[in-house]
Amino acid sequence: MHKELKELAEAWYARPIEDRLGMTRRGFMQFCATLATTLGLSRGAEAQIQKAIEQARRPSVIWLHFQECTGCTESMLRAEHPTLEKLILDVISLDYHETLFAAAGHQFEAARIQAMTENKGKYLLVIEGAIPTRENGIYCKIGGHTAIDLARECAADAAAVIAIGSCAAWGGMPSTSPNPTGATGVDSILDRPVVNIPGCPPNPYNFLATVVHFLTFGTLPEVDHEGRPLFAYSRLIHDHCERRAHFDAGRFAMEFGDEGHRKGYCLYKLGCKGPETYANCPTVLFGDVGAGTWPVGCGHPCIGCTEQGVGFEKPIHTLAQLKSVHPPISFPRIHEQQGSGAKTGEAAVIAAVAGAAAGAGAMLARNLGKARPADAPAERTDKDGGSA
C-alpha cells in the first residue's frame, strides 16, 4: 500500500504545475506575475517565482495555535488563488496544523516531532495567536507543554518564523488591558527575527506572498521596524482608500446611515483609523468577490487592526492621528442646517447689543489715543502750564 501511494504521489507531482493548481498555463504565469508585483520585485522576477514553484521542493510548514480565535486560518480557508488544498498540496507541505489535521493526541504530536526531525533547519514555523506569559504560561497548554515552551522548541531549528495575525504579531485582542494572562507577541519570547503579518484577520495573500518569496529566494522579504513585510505594510491605508477623494474635498459621513454615509463619503469623522494604519487592504481586498470587499468599502471605519497601539486600544469613535495629511475638519455637514431668520424682538436686542459694542469700541479707541506708554518721555510744559 505504501509503495502504491508513493507511486501515485510521484505521478501527481510529475504533472505540470498548472494542472495541479487547476489553472491554464497563461493563468499560472499571471499568478506568478501578480505575486512578483505584490512583492515589489524587479522585472523578470516572475520567471524566478515560476521556476521555484515548479521545481523547488515544497517547504515543510509547522503551524502552531495559541491564544486566538482561529480567524487567521479561517481567512486562509477562503483563499481562491490558489485554493487552500492546492496551497497545502502543491506550494507548501503543511505537516502540522491543529485545526486542519484529522489526527489527534499522541499521533498528532508525533507528526510534529517527525516533521521537525526530517526537515531540521529547513521548515517554516508559523505561529497563530498570542502567547500567555503570566504564571509561567499556564493559561495555554498543548500536549502538556506551554505555548512558551512549544514556540521556543519549534523555533530552535526552523529556517524562518512567521507570526500570522495581530495576536501573534504583538498580542492583539488578548493583550488588551487588563491582560490577565500576560499575552504577548511571538517576537518578545524568541531570540531570533520574526516576520509579522498582522491583521484581524490578515489577508491570506500577504502570507502566501511571504512564503513564495522564501521559496524563490531562500530569504524572507524585507520588513519594517515592526517586522512587517514592506510589500504589504509600507503604505497607509488612507493613501489608497477609494474614499480619499471625499476626504480631500471635505465630504464626511457624520453619522451611520446619514446622507453622506449612504453616498460613500469619507468615514474619518466616524473614527476611521486608515490615516494612521499601514496595510494593503484597499488594494488586495478580501474574499475574492470583487470591489469594495474590505471594511471601509463596506461602510465601516477601519479599526487599525494591523497597527500596534491603535487596533483594540483606541475606541472606534476616536479620530485617527493624521500622519500625512490634514483634513478640512472645520467643514460643515453635507447639508448644514440654516437659520430661519430673527424675529422683530430678537433683532432689536441684537441691534442694541451691537450698538453698545460699537459705542464701547469707539470709546476704547478714543481713550487709547490719550494713553501714554510707560516708557514714553514725560511731556514738557512751558512757564504758563501749557504743553510744549
User: Which residues are known binding-site members for [4Fe-4S] cluster?
Assistant: 69, 72, 167, 200, 238, 241, 266, 272
Please state the residue numbers annotated as binding site for [3Fe-4S] cluster.
281, 302, 305
Please state the residue numbers annotated as binding site.
69, 72, 167, 200, 238, 241, 266, 272, 281, 302, 305
In the chain, the N- to C-terminal Cα span, in Å, equals 125
Distance of CA 84 to the CA centre of its chain: 22
